Structure 1
Amino acid sequence: MGDLILDPYMEDAIMDHPCLAELLADQTSLPMFHPFSGGGTPQMHSSQTEEIPKTDNQNDGKNMDHKNSHQAFKITCIPDIGTAEAPHIIESDDDSLFEKNMVDTIGARLRRPHGRVSKPTHRSDSPFLYYKKTFASALKRSKEPKTTELSLQDEITINYMKQCDDDEKLLSSIDGIQLTYEFLRPLVNPKDSQIISKWLKGSVIDAYIMLIKDMQCESPREHGTAFLESTAHCQAWKTNGEQIGTRNKQYRDKRAKVTAKYLQHDMIFLPLNRNSTHWYVAVLNGAKEKTQILDSMRMDKSYYDKDKDLNNTIKGIEKFIQYARLEDGVENKWKNTKITNWPFCPMKVPQQSDSWSCGLHTLKFIQHWNGKELSPEFNEMDTTTTFKHKVAANLINSTINEVIEVQQDIKRLVTEANVGN
């Protein structure tokens, strides 16, 4: 714990890259920190997902602070995944708990048949008033906001967060992803704060991906349909690729069910983390039969060819695609399912000019890549200022956030501000 661990393939490129050089220079003045605090280590709810076996570089969590996350949310930390504390793997395979006519959209699934339920904003056993609220079914069209500036509600939300003095205060709960102020603080930290204090955790990325799904309502993009995967599931694929065999049949069938959904889409978006310090996106493009790399710190193609974690992730997915194809009635839009043979194609996308905004770029890539290029909306918001705050505000004010108490506080402040004007 302490020194930043770098992939040997990055050592040659690191001195030529000002962002990475800045990061290493900054490290010498930083306090000791876990090397996986870079952007949010994907983690699991023990009750929701399969167990991912430990790898050789795990330290069994001895150097990580679990004092509240284990006790209150039963979160299992996996420090080898490649970033800081993220509390979950999204397990969305089992639809048996919901009525079939209620799961057409992400929002409908999260709100449940009888409406969403408010959550307490602090981790405690004290009673909290719960109530249910009914929502109309989501329309089958994109609900993405077109505004390029922060609204009054957004600005009040950011100020509300900045005044929070309790790291354990629960601000957002989306599809079981619990986001306390500690997780959301990087979105409101000033630009001159330490580099690692502005890195996004995997749980924040996964929660915002759920918002993108809800906003876009799975509408086709210009060059095909998109399936947005979570950071935690991507780690599971990497582990599957490292393993020989497939465990038992039940586990094999469960993972094959996920890849069967992949085959029904043209593009699969995989948010990945490089060397535990950098977020980027790999897109499995079935129509083009290539893996497109969307990286705000783009490397040469040969680097991705040698990247062991990336290749193991692709290998793990391919393994279970082959099992999925053995099942009768599986829809398959891909002519070539040997995805380990697809070339890695680093795409020309905007590059970050700092050492901390990779997570924000990753979210924008996932939201605006259409299979060939980024949509014009990508440039409507400055990534490191307006968009950063918009992410924080959306995670709190979204209709699929179950923490009603915080939303009520913000609505009250907005009303007071309007009356004052």
Structure 2
Amino acid sequence: MFQKILIANRGEIALRVLRACKELGIQTVVVHSTADADAMHVRLADESVCIGPPPSRDSYLNIHQIVAACEITGADAVHPGYGFLSENAKFADILAAHNITFIGPSGDHIRVMGDKIEAKRTAKRLGIPVVPGSEGAVTDEKEAKRVAAEIGYPVIIKASAGGGGRGMKVAHSEDDLEVALATARSEAGAAFGDDAVYIEKYLEKPRHIELQVFGDGAGKGVHFGERDCSLQRRHQKVWEEANSPALNTEARARIGGICANAVADLGYSGAGTVEFLYENGEFYFIEMNTRLQVEHPVTEAITGIDLVHEQIRVASGGGLSVTQDDIKFNGHAIECRINAEDARTFVPSPGTITHFHTPGGLGIRVDSGVYSGYRIPPYYDSLIGKLIVHGRNRVECMMRLRRALDEFVVDGINTTLPLFRDLVGNPDIANGDYDIHWLEKYLAAEAATH
């Protein structure tokens, strides 16, 4: 087991990893920018190292400073959390060259799954169902028209190196295609430095369902069930559930088995998430994230297994602590992402939190790194906390969530708490009857009435 782990992140995920390390008896080092000197993870860690000024490129994305912090403190492993350098193959390679363990998959696996086109090819080879589309990058309008005609309109054009909805455009007819292709390539080049795009069939009303998988790096793989992440705005997840209201036991076992076998065949090490669009009983692979997800706590709630413990165990060479038969699903869990944003406009709301009170009681978990008097800096992601609620079934979970949201108090800044208080009372949400477009339609309708 590791002696000392450096946590190369900030906010609630840094605190989440720090707690797991303490439970395992592992010393912790955190890095921080000057803007995060008073952050909770800095206060609670055994050691902390300031690695630069507020901008991420000068601190949390500064590989050389993080490696130097490892060497100064004697850290023998790095946990990257999510975001920042968590899916940076170069970072994983550099750590390996310095005999420091990256708590995650190999640089090669990060590279394969980080390229959307190569990831799709790999998924297809491993027996994972994929969305009909181009075999590789589409280079010109003529080829785009040919592919689109083969798979049928509407189609979606996606950036090969993309994420977060950037470089994605929908074309409903051949007349739309030329502008959509040019716009997607332009956006992809500006956002990722790579204007390669590919084309897929556009599904009209799919759900976004993802499978939590783990590999031991030596040919064994398991799945921890699925999460439904269909409630999104601008392709960003807002509310996640486990298990999905749309799947039954047979569908879960079928797609879970496919994904577990795939990571085993790949020789994958650590946590991963295989993401799908799901429509009319069919799964279509969209990407694989080679890191811990923001929404991992809902999986922990229904399985009772600490996924960060599992990451650390696998990375240290201890293998998986469970077999597939050991993993049982208990009840239902929902996570709401609490952002420092206006609940209607989603404009960021940095500033000082004057009062912070979290809900409690059976089945309630709050992952947050903020506190009363904490000043939210304007430089980073607006996520300030996650409310995770577990119940014996979805109805009990929803009732418990409603109560927890009423207890949650954050004063001094705007947050998205009012949005969730509205959603929990909506009949479509109560019935689990929603798809990836539902929330944006709901928000547009709300905006039109105000």
Normalised by the length of structure 1, the TM-score is 0.28
Higher fraction of strand:
2
Q: Per chain length, whose mean CA-contact separation is higher, i.e. which structure has more relative contact order (CA < 8 Å, sep 6+)?
A: 1
Normalised by the length of structure 2, the TM-score is 0.26
